[in-house]
Amino acid sequence: MNSFLAVFKRELKSYFTTPLAYVFLVIFLFFSGYLTFKDGFFEMRQADMRVFFMNLPLLFVFMVPSAAMRLWAEERKVGSIELLFTLPITIMQAVLGKFFAAWLFLTIALALTFPMVITVCYLGNPDIGLIITGYLGSLLMAGGFLAIGCFFSAVSKNQVISFVLSVVACAVLVFAGMPTTMSYLSMFLPTGLVSAMESMSFQTHFESIQRGVLEFKDLSYFVLLIIGWIAACCIVLEERKAG
């Protein structure tokens, strides 16, 4: 447990000792605000954060892999992985330590979007429950993307390669559930397969949580997704740590 906490603490601090955290936060906050207002936040004349949450998956497709790409690729490139795994730390503790540190960092980024909440509350009487489930869904989605990024970061020593691979993997999972993709696929794929793809997509589960309904199937989708990719990351690291 202590080793997990040590890795967690070190990793979280390392975001803020390098310019990475600040660059990431500024860009994320700028675009999350910009996309919301560009897509007609005022024109809708409704005090809710639907537009804000609607744009998050697209933003996360690029932003989360950029926060995750260094997790293991850098350790392997610099060689500090040799130090880490000659200390009394198991691979699982190290992977979880890094994952949760990065997740907390993304939570901080999401928490810093609080001016949006204040704006909405100032302009009208929003449904607070909806906003809370919206944030919860966003957090779970960030965790899912992060687990994918974590895996691809362990796959390659090169941060650019791991970034590109995780962006593609995240984008596939998001776009698989978009209405345009669905209608295109249903032209030549059997309905069963199309709906299977839809239920595997981030978008579907994220939207369902956003509507304010916390269903077991949506929660378990994200939890299983995270566990699966993290387990895969542990296996890949065990194989490749010395490569």
Partner 1 sequence: MIEVKEIRRSFGPVVAVDGISFNAGKGDVLGLLGPNGAGKSTAMRILACFLRPDSGTATICGYDILRSPIDVRRSLGYVGENVPAYNEMTVGAFLNFICDVREISGKDRKRALDRIVPMCSIDSVYHQTIETLSKGYKRRVGLAQALIHDPQVLILDEPTDGLDPNQKYEVRQLINKMSKDKCIIVSTHILEEVEAVCSRTIIIARGRILVDSTPEALKEKYRCSLDEVFRKITKTKAA
Count CB-CB contacts under 10 A for residue 14. Answer: 15
Two tokens, residue 79? 């060689």
Question: Closest approach of Cβ 181 to partner 1, in Å?
Answer: 41
Residue range at the interface with partner 1 (CB under 8 A); choices 4-12, 28-36, 59-67, 229-237: 4-12
Q: Residue 54's closest CA among 36, 70, 81? A: 36
Which of 29, 54, 89, 136 is close enough to bind partner 1 by CB under 8 A?
A: 89
* CA-based torsion, 72, 75, 79, 84: positive or negative: negative
17-36 positions binding partner 1, by CB under 8 A: 17-18
Residue/partner pairs of 86-91 with CB below 8 Å, 24 or more apart: 87/3, 88/3, 89/3, 89/6, 89/7, 90/3, 91/234, 91/237, 91/238, 91/241
Using CB under 8 A, pick the residue from 26, 83, 112, 227 that binds partner 1. Answer: 83
Q: Which of 170, 116, 175 is nearest to 141 (CA)?
A: 170
- Closest CA relative to residue 4, chosen from 66, 129, 126, 88: 88
Of the listed pieces 27-35, 42-50, 86-94, 103-111, which binds partner 1 according to CB under 8 A?
86-94
Minimum CB separation of residue 113 from partner 1 in Å reads: 27
State which residue, 90 or 220, has the beta carbon closest to partner 1. 90
14 binds partner 1 (CB under 8 A): yes
Q: Does 192 bind partner 1 (CB under 8 A)?
A: no
Determine, following the binding rule CB under 8 A, whether residue 3 of this chain makes contact with partner 1.
yes
Q: Give the binding range for partner 1 (CB under 8 A) out of 35-43, 57-65, 72-80, 221-229.
A: 72-80
Is 240 a binding residue for partner 1 by CB under 8 A? The answer is no
Q: Classify residue 214 by its DSSP letter.
A: -
The answer to the question of residue 175 lying near partner 1 (CB under 8 A) is: no
Q: Are 36 and 51 in contact (CB under 8 A)?
A: yes
* By CB under 8 A, residue 235 contacts partner 1: no
Q: How far is Cα 97 from Cα 11, in angstroms, rounded to an integer? A: 8
Q: Which of 69, 73, 81, 237 touches partner 1 by CB under 8 A?
A: 81
Residues lying near partner 1 in the complex (CB under 8 A) are found at 2-3, 5-7, 9-10, 13-14, 17-18, 78-83, 85-90, 241-242
